[in-house]
Amino acid sequence: MSAKIITVTSGKGGVGKTTAIASLGIALASLGEKVVCVDGDIGLRNLDVIMGLENRIVYDIVDVVEGRCRLRQAMIRDKRVPGLFLIPAAQTRDKNALSPSDMIRLGDELRPEVDWVLIDSPAGIERGFKNSIAAADRVLVLTNPEISAVRDADRVIGILEAEEKGSPELIINRVNYEMVQNGEMLSTEDVLDLLAIKLIGVVPEDKSVLVAANQGMPVSLDNDSRAGQAFRNIAMRLTGKEVPFMDLAEKDGFWDKFSKLAGGN
Amino acid sequence: MSLFKSVFNNEKKSAQSAKERLQLVLTHDRTDITPAQLEALKDELIEVISRHISIEPAAVNINVAREGREQRLVADIPLKVAQRRGK
Ligand SMILES: Nc1ncnc2c1ncn2[C@@H]1O[C@H](COP(=O)(O)OP(=O)(O)O)[C@@H](O)[C@H]1O
Ligand SMILES: [Mg+2]
């Protein structure tokens, strides 16, 4: 095995990176791939709670890098889906506990173990971000259709290009179809026109994301969730399958609720 | 045109404002060229070009245009109407 290392980053905080990593991890593992999700947000550990694995942490990423445990000991197995692991962030250290070269070494150690390494980046464009992208083969920039998130995404894309990381791919998260229709939210086309990179996924705004987070069940485990479906689609695109972009007009509108009430689907 | 329609047409949707504002902000973020620098460049260009050909200084337009992720400096420099070879 030689894993592909994928980093999700955004510049702005709170746009959905951790949600995406957890969901993509579950979705890829459900496709039969072996996956390790790495929380790169040192000091602000979160991926563990979103994945529902917070009670099983013994060692963290800094323990691995500083040699206090072996790699396998820090890989927490997710019992819901075979082949899925988490390496948690250290909570009581800061971003300077790791360097980009530590991350490259960790990446090289992980490559033979799994098919995919998914790295959750912290917000910002400083050390934690640099650490998170250091080992990446592919970077996914995640944004919301919102003015400051798009601006920050553009900065990050500029830095990735300057560092010759290759052109990143774009995930647009939290698209509210009705608001786009009413001219109250940037559309997918608007964001693509502004950022001008390749699109890999569009995820609708969806209440089930918060419900899933409450329960520590990544939203891609929820078969009825539209956001979950969107993340499952992105996972398939990562593996090279061509999956059409979801029709955001479907389901979440009035007619859907109406047809559900009427007993339809 | 009815009053309703004209009001309706004049109303700019907020997403459109967001996009237009982002277009300007991103161009600036990406190039680091300030409007003042662009003005200074324009003045010097007019001076240099005028030494060789006569142009309409007031109509000169210098802009940073976006093309995908690339920015290009676009100069539009109209020549004076009476320009003739050999004067
Ligand atoms: N598609 C979505 N629909 C609704 N809420 C979302 C969506 N994606 C993310 N969220 C919410 O946004 C917040 C931030 O998400 P998170 O993944 O922690 O962002 P980040 O890791 O970028 O800081 C969380 O409350 C999460 O539930
Ligand atoms: Mg996060």
Report ipTM for this prediction.
0.86
Question: Is the pLDDT reported for residue B5 higher than 80?
Answer: no
The domains of chain A are located at 4-261
Question: Of the ranges A202-206, A239-243, B39-43, which one carries the lowest mean pLDDT score?
Answer: B39-43
C-alpha A161 to ligand 2 mean position (Å): 23
A39 lines ligand 1 (CB under 6 A): no
**% of chain A residues with pLDDT over 70:** 94
Q: Please compute the mean of the pLDDT values over residues A167-177 and round it to a whole number.
A: 97
- Does the pTM of the predicted model rise above 0.80? yes
Range of the domain at B58: 2-76
In B1-87 the beta strands, taken as DSSP E runs, fall at 61-67, 70-76
Question: Is the pLDDT reported for residue A258 higher than 60?
Answer: no
Residue B83 forms part of a structural domain: no
B14-31 and A188-195 helices, crossing angle to 10°: 10
**CB proximity B24 to A under 8 Å:** no
Between chains, do B15 and A183 touch, taking CB under 8 Å as contact?
A: yes
The whole-chain average pLDDT of chain A stands at 94
The model's pLDDT over A213-224, given as tens digits with 9 standing for 90+, comes to 999 999 999 999
Between chains, do A150 and B22 touch, taking CB under 8 Å as contact?
A: yes
Question: Is the pLDDT reported for residue A253 higher than 70?
Answer: no
The model's pLDDT over A207-248, given as tens digits with 9 standing for 90+, comes to 999 999 999 999 999 999 999 999 999 999 999 999 999 988
Give the number of whichever ligand sits closest to the CA of residue A212.
1
C-alpha A140 to ligand 2 mean position (Å): 14
In A81-213 the beta strands, taken as DSSP E runs, fall at 84-87, 116-120, 138-143, 169-175, 198-204
Question: Of the ranges A46-60, A233-247, B20-34, which one carries the lowest mean pLDDT score?
Answer: B20-34
The pLDDT value recorded for residue A262 is: 54
Q: Kindly give the number of the ligand 1 atom that is closest to the alpha carbon of A207.
A: 4
SS3 state of residue A31: coil
In order of A164, A225, B58, the CA distances from A229 in angstroms are 32, 6, 57
Question: Is the pLDDT reported for residue B28 higher than 90?
Answer: no
Question: Is the pLDDT reported for residue A198 higher than 60?
Answer: yes
Long-range contacts (CB closer than 8 Å, 24 or more residues apart) made by A74-78: A75/A36, A75/A113, A76/A48, A78/A25, A78/A26, A78/A29, A78/A51, A78/A53
Residue B29 forms part of a structural domain: yes
Q: How many domains does chain B have?
A: 1
Task: For A140-174, give the DSSP string.
Answer: EEEE-SSHHHHHHHHHHHHHHHHTT----EEEEEE
Give the number of whichever ligand sits closest to the CA of residue A46.
2
Residue B86 forms part of a structural domain: no
The pLDDT value recorded for residue A264 is: 43
**CB proximity B32 to A under 8 Å:** no
Q: Please compute the mean of the pLDDT values over residues A176-188 and round it to a whole number.
A: 97
Q: Among A13, A34, A16, which Cα is nearest to A25's?
A: A34
Count of CB pairs separated by less than 8 Å, A with B? 44
Task: Compute the C-alpha angle A38/A143/A123, nearest 5°.
Answer: 50
Between chains, do A196 and B68 touch, taking CB under 8 Å as contact?
A: yes
Q: Which CATH class is domain A4-261?
A: alpha beta
Q: Kindly give the number of the ligand 1 atom that is closest to the alpha carbon of A212.
A: 27
The pLDDT value recorded for residue B6 is: 47
Question: For an interface test with A, which of B69, B70, B71 has the most A Cβ atoms less than 10 Å from its Cβ?
Answer: B69
